[in-house]
Structure 1
Amino acid sequence: MLNIDIYKLYNPEIKQEFLNNFDGTNDTVSTLYYTLKKASVSEKEANKDLFEMTANELDIVFHTASRRTENSVRGFISNIMTYIKWATDKGYRSTNLPVYTADSISSKASEYVCKTAATYYTQEELMEYYKKITNRGDVLILQCIFEGIRGRGYSEIFNLKADDLSKKDGKFYVNLYDTEKGTEREDFEISEFLYELMLEVEGLTSVYTITNRKVELVPSQYILKKTSKGNRGRLLGEKLTTSYLNNKNIQYKEVFNSDDFKYKDIERSGVMHYLSKLMKTKETNIVGNEEYIAISDRFSIGKYFHSHYEKEVVNYSAIKGMIDEDFYEEHYGEIKLS
C-alpha cells in the first residue's frame, strides 16, 4: 500500500477497503486517494459518504473541487464515479442515485471548471493547451517560462539563438543571456521537447495568426522573430520586447479559458514540476534547503543580497510561497515543506 494517511478521508475504513482492492498501478491508486481526499471536505460538511449523495450534492462536490481545466474535471468526476460504482457493487449504496456516464461527464465538464482561482498546470495539461496555439513561437514562450527560462524583462527568452543550443549524452542544453540584468547561464539543461521546439521555431519564416492569416517574419539571428506586418522600417536582427508578451496575454486568456491568466502561474507550475523531479531522488517526502536552493537557481527567484554577509542568499520563504501544496499533492504526491 502507498504511504498515504487514510484517516484524512471520510469513512476511512471503507475508503481503505476500496483503495486496497483497486486493481491498478500505484500512480492510479495515488490519484484516487487525492480525489477522495479533496472530496472529503464536502462529505464532512454534508455528513454523507459520496455513495449516499444525490445528484445535487454531487454537483457541489464537483464545484468545490476547484478543478481548473476540463480534462481535470473529467478525471475527478470519473474517479468519484469509480468509487461510487465500487460501493454500489459492494452493497454500501442502497438508494437509486444517478450514475454519470462517460458522455455525461464530458458534456458537463465545462460547468465545473473553476475560473477564479490561481491556475496551475502539469506538463501533460500544458501539452493539450499547446495544440490550440497556432504560432509555435507562442508555445515556446510558455514552455521556456515553465522550464525556468525568463530573465529580467524576459530577456533570456528574447536572446535565444540556435547557436546556443547543444546536446550531449542524451541531454539537451542552451546558453542563456539576461542582458537586462547582465548575467549569463551556460549549459542550462532543458527538455528534449523544448530543444526540438526551439529548432522548429528557428526555422520558421512565417506564422499564422489566430484568425488563420499568414504573416511573414523578419529574418533575425534570434529564434523568436518579429513579424513584418505593418513594420516596413524594421531592421534585420531586431529582438522582441516585453510589450510582445503583454499583447499575447489576450490570446493566452482565450486559449486557457481564463480571464485571470498569468505568466507567473505558468512559472509556479514549472517550479512544482521541477520539485517533483528533485523529490524522486530523495528517500523522504520532506522538502529541504537543498531543494529550495535548486529551485532558486533554476528559476532565478528568491535571491537577494545580504548586506551583513555581503553575499547573495536564498529567501526560503519566497520559494515555499511558489508551491501550492494542494496542487502538488494531487499531481505529484504528499510533501512536507521544512
Structure 2
Amino acid sequence: MSNQTYNDYLYNKEQKERFLKDRTFNTREAYSRVLKRASSLEEEFGKDLYNFNISEIELLINYLAPTTLSSVQSATSPITVYIDWAIEQGLRTDNFNPLSTLIDREYLEKFIDKSNELIFSKDDIDDITGRLTNRIDAAVIQCLFEGLMGKKYSELLNLTIHDINENENRLILTNDIDEGHKKKRVLMLDGDSTLIKLLIQTFEKKIYYKNNGNPSPNNKSDIINLVENDYIFRAAALGVKYLGKADSHLVLRKLRLVADWMGQPHLTATNIRNSGMLYYAYKLYKDRGKLEKEEYDIICERFDIKMNSLGYYNISRQKNDFLNVKTIEKIYGKGTS
C-alpha cells in the first residue's frame, strides 16, 4: 500500500469539518481516520469522496486493508454515512449512495485482507513451541492458548508451583483486577493438555539460553541465570528488582523474541488467545455437533471473558471475526462435527 494513502489531512477540508463537527469525540476520531486516508485518492481522482463511484469506493476500502469483518465495517460505515450526509446537503451529483444496497456480509468479506493470517491452528502452536529451546518461552505461548491471561498477564505472572495440581490437571489462577483486589479462579485442563507438564519443566529450569539456544560470538555468555523463587515465570537474576514476581514486560519480551525467531510478526498475545478460543470452539463443535449459546458460554467461562451488566457475554465481534463454524472449517477442515 502506498504511504500516500495515509495522508494526515482532509481533502476539501471545509466540507469534511462541517460533516464532523456535530459528531461525538470518538466518532469524529474514527471517521477522521478514514477520511484522511481517502485524501490521496480524492486528489488522484480530482473529486471529493462523496462523489466516488462504487469502483473508487472499493479501491479505498482495499487501501485500508481491513483484516477482519469488524474492521471492514469500521471502514465502510464512515464512507456510507458521509455520502448519505452529502446527498442530504445536495453535494453529490446524483442522489444515490453506491454502498446503500451492498452492505451485507458476503459483500464485505471480499475486502478482508488475507495476506496476514491472525489465527494459528493447534498444529501451528505446537510447531512453534516445539522449536523453542527454553521452556519458559513455550509456556508463555501455551498458557495464552489455553486460556490464561488476566490484567497485564497477571494470571501467568502470579502462578506459583503451589498453584499446580498435577494429579487433577488443575490450576489455581489469580488475576490482579486492580490495586489490592485479586480474583481467583480454578482452571480444569482437558485430558490432552500438556500445559501442566510444561509449567513444571519451566519451574525446574534455573537458566535461560539466549537467542533460542543459538550461540552468538558477540555474547560473553550464552546463558542467563533466573531468579530462584516459587513463581513459574521468573526474571533474569541480574539485579534485585524482580526477586519476587516478574513484571508484565517479561511476557511482552518473550512474545517479541519468539515472533522474531519464528518469522511470525502476528504472534501476539491477543492472536494466540483468539486462536486458543477457536481451538476450544472446534473441540466443542466436534463433540456436540453445534456451536450455539451453550457452547459460547463454556468458551467464555474458560477464557474468563467478562459478563455485561445483564449477565451475558458480549462476544458478537469475536463471533463475526473468527469464533464461528466457518473459521473452524477453514482452520481445521470441513466435516468436523
Change (3 A) 1:323 1:256: farther
Choose 238-247 or 197-206, whichever is displaced more: 238-247
> Which 5+ residue runs of structure 1 have no aligned equivalent?
1-113
Which residue in 2 is equivalent to 1:245? 251
Deviation track 1:227-260 (CA, whole Å, cap 9, x = no partner) reads 113x2x3363x11122222323331222331333
Is contact 1:207–1:216 with CA below 8 Å preserved after alignment? yes
Is contact 1:216–1:228 with CA below 8 Å preserved after alignment? yes
SS at structure 2 position matched to 1:226? coil
Is contact 1:161–1:222 with CA below 8 Å preserved after alignment? yes
Structure 2 residue 173 is matched with structure 1 residue 176 = yes
Deviation track 1:153-190 (CA, whole Å, cap 9, x = no partner) reads 1100001111111144xx51111111235211124325
Structure 2 residue 146 is matched with structure 1 residue 147 = yes
Is contact 1:115–1:259 with CA below 8 Å preserved after alignment? no
The CA distance in 1 between the partners of 2:125 and 2:317, in whole Å, is 25
Paired amino acid for 1:185: R
Is contact 1:144–1:194 with CA below 8 Å preserved after alignment? yes
Q: How many angstroms does 1:222 deviate by? A: 0.5
Change (3 A) 1:265 1:183: same
Deviation track 1:11-44 (CA, whole Å, cap 9, x = no partner) reads xxxxxxxxxxxxxxxxxxxxxxxxxxxxxxxxxx
Which residue in 2 is equivalent to 1:206? 207
SS at structure 1 position matched to 2:249? helix
Is contact 2:129–2:141 with CA below 8 Å preserved after alignment? no
Query: Percent of pairs identical after alignment?
Result: 24
Structure 2 residue 231 is matched with structure 1 residue 222 = yes
SS at structure 2 position matched to 1:180? strand
Which residue in 1 is equivalent to 2:275? 269
TM-score by length of 2: 0.57
Deviation track 1:190-217 (CA, whole Å, cap 9, x = no partner) reads 5541111111111111111115411101
Residues 1-338 of structure 1 aligned to structure 2 (within 5 Å): 116-168=115-167, 172-180=169-177, 182-189=182-189, 191-210=192-211, 211-212=214-215, 213-229=222-238, 231=239, 233-234=240-241, 236=243, 238-282=244-288, 284=289, 286-301=290-305, 303-306=306-309, 309=310, 312-320=311-319, 321-323=321-323, 326-334=326-334
The CA distance in 2 between the partners of 1:187 and 1:268, in whole Å, is 18
Is contact 1:153–1:180 with CA below 8 Å preserved after alignment? no
The CA distance in 2 between the partners of 1:266 and 1:326, in whole Å, is 19
The CA distance in 2 between the partners of 1:292 and 1:180, in whole Å, is 24
Is contact 1:253–1:260 with CA below 8 Å preserved after alignment? yes
Paired amino acid for 2:171: V
Q: How many angstroms does 1:304 deviate by? A: 3.6
TM-score by length of 1: 0.57
Q: How many angstroms does 1:220 deviate by? A: 1.2
The CA distance in 1 between the partners of 2:146 and 2:173, in whole Å, is 13
Paired amino acid for 1:157: L
The structure with the largest alpha-carbon Rg is 2
> Which 5+ residue runs of structure 2 have no aligned equivalent?
1-112, 216-221
The CA distance in 1 between the partners of 2:259 and 2:187, in whole Å, is 33
Q: How many angstroms does 1:322 deviate by? A: 4.2
The CA distance in 2 between the partners of 1:330 and 1:271, in whole Å, is 15
Which residue in 1 is equivalent to 2:31? none
The CA distance in 1 between the partners of 2:294 and 2:203, in whole Å, is 36
Change (3 A) 1:297 1:319: farther
RMSD: 2.6
Paired amino acid for 2:170: Y
Moved over 6 A (4+): none
Change (3 A) 1:127 1:177: same
Paired amino acid for 2:297: I
